[in-house]
Amino acid sequence: MALASIRIVGPGRAGQSFAQACEAVGLQVDLLAREAAVASAASDVDVVLIATPDRAIAQVARAISPGDAVVLHCSGATGLIPLAGHPRHGSIHPLMALPSAEVGATRLRDHGWFAVAGDPAAAQIVDLFGGQSFVVDDAKRALYHATAAVSANHLVALLGQVERLADQVGVPVQAFLDLARGSFDDVVAHGAAAALTGPAARGDHTTLDAHRVALPPSERGLYDTLVVAAQHLADRSRGVRPCVHTGRRIERERRMTVQVTTTLAETWELLDAARAEGKTVGLVPTMGFLHAGHASLIQASAAENDVTLTTIFVNPLQFGADEDLSDYPRDLERDLKLCQEAGATVVLTPSVDEMYPQPIVTTVTVNELSEAMEGAQRPTHFAGVATVVAKLFHIGGRCRAYFGEKDYQQLAVVRRMVSDLSFQVQVIGCPIVREENGLAMSSRNTYLSTEQFAAAAVLNRSLRSAVELVQAGERDADVVRSHIIDMIATEPLVSAPDYVAIVGADSLQPLTQLSGDVRIILAAQVGRPRLLDNIGVSLDR
């Protein structure tokens, strides 16, 4: 379908650049201020483009009521998770600087490169601009944006050093910029390894040491870092293991950009320092063995906060005597890699002794919301959850905390605890991330055989079918529940559900007649693991 109209939220440089470029290619454009009422932004247009700062994207997306329009954002660092509440969504990121509306509009239509994801409308806009598009997976979004920062922002910072040093030498800066331009052309023509010349490439440490002596102390840090990079590039091109000259005062490369802590005191110190600088904090509590669902929570936090603390702690308090605490899957190295790729800043991996230095006699219980469903199946579970989450909230301090909606009862318990105990925490529920067959992602899915994994997809199918039944007019909760149970019974590898609860979305109280915001929640055994899933449906009261 041809695009005819676009509404842009955010009148900054990016928003104005897109507005002028879209007008120039014949689209009808409506440019809204971020502060404007945006609830109806997805009405009466083909595309809504969120062109706000990254940290505001999720907030704006939640404020827009779902409609027929495709909802896009133009961030390079943000994935699609913040837009998941809209049926059609995607992203379009121009791989170019937009320093002003006029220059930006020209560059957008100058056959440039764009990263696109999600709905095909993003690629259609690139085609209208005459540009070239490529797809970046959400899991690699942070790495993509880091590469963009190196090729643009970091390059400019490096040339800033050239300007400063040229001024001290008394040589026209243009002479060095012409040298830089020639080096850039050589990289384009031959690749970085072949284009590299100079003392680092030759291994001429005498000259490099002379450079360091001559450089002002304030300029040595950047120079040293780039010497390491040049040496490694030269070593790789020769097929040898990269190394740094012995005795040279060059800070070794960090293996990971994420900071890993094991103690509460160290974590408090890092977060206190961040808040003293005016930075915001996001918290993502996990029990490890992370998957794409956890990554989506970290990405959501990283998009909305300056610092994201992810905790990895298998909490013994929430396991019953006959449950799988000792067998719970663990892979810390893999988890840390996922945290880094998803955008975590700090990862806390405390021991049990660090979290519970003495037998714990103080616990948190959230009555009513904890008693049914999982609470009835696992009587001590939610006291263990609420207690450890309360401890993690005290560790995280004032923050936004991100929880997946897969464990919907847990999310409701945590929200009520925060409200009742006045924690300075904003609890944010994030959409369920699913496997290709619709099964809700869970660390316990690894226990499933190939056949069980395929059979477990019936859980989500039954929920979606139930919503279709409700949307067709059914309001009797017993009828809807029976429909789900009958569908699950068609899969012999899936046991009869432990429960199928049809409840008010906020109160978790059981419904007999459906109205308002409804949540349908179920749990069933599939082989070894019990699997949970749920779905929401909103009805006129």
Give the residue numbers annotated as catalytic, written as ranges.
Answer: 294
H or E stretch covering 22: helix 13-24
CA proximity to 386, closest of 419, 357, 359, 430: 419
d(C-alpha 145, C-alpha 259), whole Å: 20
Classify 434 in phi/psi space as left (phi over 0), alpha (psi -120 to 50) or beta. beta
d(C-alpha 168, C-alpha 309), whole Å: 43
Please state the separation of Cα 1 from the chain's center in Å: 30
Coil/strand/helix, residue 72 = strand
Please state the separation of Cα 388 from the chain's center in Å: 23
Coil/strand/helix, residue 273 = helix
d(C-alpha 196, C-alpha 362), whole Å: 63
Residue 389: Cβ within 10 Å count:
27
- φ/ψ (deg, to 5) at 242: -60, 140
For residues 319 and 325, the answer to whether their CB atoms sit within 8 Å is: yes
Cα dihedral 72/77/80/85 (nearest 10): -70
Six-digit token string for 500: 């199928």
Strand partners, 135: 116
CA proximity to 167, closest of 216, 225, 134, 120: 216
Tell me which amino acid residue 76 is. G
H or E stretch covering 71: strand 70-73
d(C-alpha 403, C-alpha 415), whole Å: 10
One DSSP character per residue, 380-405 reads THHHHHHHHHHHHHHHH-SEEEEEET
Maximum Cα interatomic distance, the chain, rounded to a whole number of Å: 85
Q: What is the 3-state secondary structure (H, E, C) of 289-332?
A: CCCHHHHHHHHHHHHHCCEEEEEECCCHHHCCCCCCCCCCCCCH
For the chain, what is the radius of gyration of the CA atoms? 27
H or E stretch covering 467: helix 458-471
